């Protein structure tokens, strides 16, 4: 079993990074469709940001991910993962 499946079974593969802008936005070619507000993680399970928008056509969607200040290097072509934040029930 990989580190990802052992550590956090709720993680799903988001897709591949296409572009990283200077203002800390990442464009990701989606493999699975997340919800806006879902957390985004790198391959080392470090939280790198939040899904801010879904753009493009329904046949070829992209996500805009707003990055937190990055302590590790993220490069185009890297695979990202996502998970929904835990929300309290009332």
Domain count along the chain: 1
The average confidence (pLDDT) of the chain is 86
Residue 27 lies in a domain: yes
How much is the pTM? 0.80
User: Would you say residue 10 has pLDDT above 90?
Assistant: no
Residue 60 lies in a domain: yes
Q: Domain limits at 41? A: 10-70+77-82
Residue 88 lies in a domain: no
Residue 1 lies in a domain: no
3-class state of residue 3 by DSSP? helix
Q: What are the residues whose beta carbons fall under 8 Å from the beta carbon of 5, sequence distance 6 or more?
A: none
Alpha helices in 1-90 (DSSP H): 3-7
pLDDT given for residue 70 in this prediction: 66
| Structural contact between residues 62 and 56, judged by C-beta atoms closer than 8 angstroms | yes
Residue 32 lies in a domain: yes
Residue 5 lies in a domain: no
| Structural contact between residues 42 and 76, judged by C-beta atoms closer than 8 angstroms | no
CATH at residue 55:
2.40.10.230
User: pLDDT tens for residues 55-86?
Assistant: 999 999 999 999 987 666 788 999 999 998 86
């Amino acid at each position: 079993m990989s580190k990802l499946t052992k550590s956090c079974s709720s993680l799903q593969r988001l897709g591949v990074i296409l572009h990283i802008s200077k203002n800390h936005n990442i464009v990701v070619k989606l493999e699975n469709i997340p919800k806006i507000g879902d957390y985004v993680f790198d391959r080392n399970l470090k939280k790198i940001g939040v899904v801010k928008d879904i753009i493009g056509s329904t046949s070829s969607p992209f996500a805009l991910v707003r990055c937190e200040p990055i302590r590790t290097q993220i490069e185009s072509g890297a695979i990202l993962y996502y998970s929904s934040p835990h929300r309290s029930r009332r």
